[in-house]
Amino acid sequence: MTRPSRVSCPIDLETPGKRLGHLRVPHSSNRSAYGWIGVPIGVIVGGEGPTVYLGGGNHGDEYEGPITLLRLFQELEPERVRGRLIVLPMTNLPAVLAGQRCSPIDGANLNRMFVGDPGLDHEPTKAIAHFVEEVLLPRCDAAIDLHSGGRTLDYVPSALARTGPDDPLRERKLAALRAFGAPVSYLVPPVGNADGILAAADRKGVLALGTELGGAGTVTPTTLAVARRGVLGFLAHLGVLDGVPEPGPTRLLEVRPEHYVWAPRAGLFEPAVVQGAEVEAGAVAGWLFDPDEPERAPLEVRFEAAGLMLCRRPIPMVERGDCLFHLGADVAARAAEAALGARGRPVGRVSASAPPGRSPDGTRVRSIAAPRAARRRSRRSRRGREPARSRGPGPRARRSAAPGFRARAGPAFRRAVGRLRDRPCPGSHAARHRD
């Protein structure tokens, strides 16, 4: 049974017209015993049509969402809208005012609070998440929550969908990504991430997208243009607005666990790649220096997988466990991998700074970043039992798995296929040991 919300909304969300008010989120503090936090909420109700939730400021150091939605709310009038727009430009207001990812009041990350709990008086972030999931989303047909990388991450401007093969909304989400028209679109698996707003929308059967529109604690005209054009395209796709330019092409990627690179220890990180670069599995990601031991050789960090460098950490000082990069792989390349029957990718790890295959003192070593399958092939070759090679994918696998997205059968795709051809055949001894 759903628990009632502790948040009240003083404005009418149903009657035609345009209204702005403040949600009242109860919060008792030393400064105000019976106080509440006023979170801005706007509604525009026009003619017949779908209801769409537009959210920004889920994290307080991500600025494209609040700026884009504040401007759109000021510009749009009910006469132009078919349906209803519910707008929360600064959903986690305390975090926005503090310029922080998490709320300064309870320390909570709003996008990890969609757990069906209205919270206690000292937990306003839970109360906001509960109100969005249990009061607003059930009224909606579609939703978009605008994010960027905040202070600690910087993204290639992109839109994203939480989806998997069994998602009943998968095709509609892919169509919505095309309509948003970001330079890059990517898919994240529904496994895990159950406490975010996209998971909440899935539970309510609401078509929902997210974004990552830049970051590094700033905002630029470029990222704002992507955000504005994308939101308008999304609304036009749903039939809410007319007169919106056609979207440009978008490159479809997917993000998997092996695409992330984390700092193995604290230090000063020197990156070896630039934003938007194509990288190979095992390529050098950068070098990690120890400020306390300047004479110590830097630690070399490598990518575990191949793909587009989608996100980077803009702050060079890191602690163990900080995300340094994450990649995205073309869906077409994944289709090729499936056609070849390969499982997983070569696994890269961290090694001391030195040329490949050599230690810092110059002696030859076996690199722990080398693909294990390649080492097994070498041993088999020496025993005269080189495994058979696959012929590679057929024409169907070379096509994108999602028609309508820009085809990516270029050099990156060919390199991915080349790596897969060098792997053992499925069912061979080496392949079984890779599972």
- pLDDT tens digits, one per residue of 196-207: 999 999 999 999
Q: Inform me whether the pLDDT recorded for 364 exceeds 60.
A: no
Residue 396 main-chain phi, psi, to 5 deg: -65, -40
How many other C-beta atoms lie within 10 A of the C-beta of residue 291?
A: 10
Confidence of residue 91 (pLDDT cuts 50, 70, 90): very high
Residue type, 245: P
Q: Which of 39-53, 76-90, 242-256 has the lowest mean pLDDT?
A: 242-256
CB–CB of 181/152 below 8 Å? no
* Two tokens, residue 192: 């895990």
Q: Give me the domains of the chain, ranges plus CATH numbers.
A: 17-248 (3.40.630.10), 257-381 (2.40.50.100)
Confidence of residue 397 (pLDDT cuts 50, 70, 90): very low
How far, in Å, CA of 201 to CA of 209, rounded? 9
Convert the pLDDT of each residue in 320-335 to its tens digit: 999 999 999 999 766 6
Confidence of residue 354 (pLDDT cuts 50, 70, 90): very low
What average pLDDT does range 177-194 have in this prediction?
92
What average pLDDT does range 309-318 have in this prediction?
97
How far, in Å, CA of 37 to CA of 34, rounded? 11
Label each residue of 322-345 as H, E or C: CEEEEEEEEHHHHHHHHHHCCCCC
Q: Inform me whether the pLDDT recorded for 350 exceeds 50.
A: no
Q: Inform me whether the pLDDT recorded for 181 exceeds 90.
A: yes
Q: Inform me whether the pLDDT recorded for 362 exceeds 50.
A: no
Angle, CA 39 vertex, CA 36 and CA 44 arms, to 5°:
135
Q: Inform me whether the pLDDT recorded for 249 exceeds 70.
A: yes
Q: Which of 5-9, 63-67, 265-269, 333-337 has the lowest mean pLDDT?
A: 333-337
pLDDT at position 237: 97
Q: Which of 61-65, 92-96, 137-141, 338-342 has the lowest mean pLDDT?
A: 338-342
pLDDT at position 338: 55
What average pLDDT does range 230-255 have in this prediction?
95
Confidence of residue 2 (pLDDT cuts 50, 70, 90): confident
pLDDT at position 334: 64
* Two tokens, residue 32: 């105000």
What average pLDDT does range 14-36 have in this prediction?
95
What average pLDDT does range 205-229 have in this prediction?
97
pLDDT at position 385: 46
pLDDT at position 333: 62
pLDDT at position 411: 55
Q: Inform me whether the pLDDT recorded for 81 exceeds 50.
A: yes
pLDDT at position 269: 98
Task: Give rounded-to-5 percent helix, strand, coil for the chain.
Answer: 30, 25, 50
Nearest CA-CA partner of 211 in 114, 146, 119: 146
Q: Inform me whether the pLDDT recorded for 280 exceeds 70.
A: yes
Confidence of residue 188 (pLDDT cuts 50, 70, 90): very high
How far, in Å, CA of 88 to CA of 303, rounded? 38
Confidence of residue 435 (pLDDT cuts 50, 70, 90): very low
Convert the pLDDT of each residue in 366-385 to its tens digit: 333 334 444 444 444 444 44
Q: Which residues of 41-57 are buried (b: 16+ CB within 10 A; e: fewer)?
A: bbbbbbeebbbbbbbbb
Q: Which residues of 67-78 are buried (b: 16+ CB within 10 A; e: fewer)?
A: bbbbebbeebeb
Nearest CA-CA partner of 233 in 292, 303, 180, 280: 180
Of all residues in the chain, the percent with pLDDT exceeding 70 is 76
CB–CB of 212/188 below 8 Å? no
> Measuring CA to CA, how many Å separate 11 from each of 14, 58, 424?
9, 21, 64
CB–CB of 53/238 below 8 Å? no
pLDDT at position 26: 95
How far, in Å, CA of 227 to CA of 325, rounded? 22
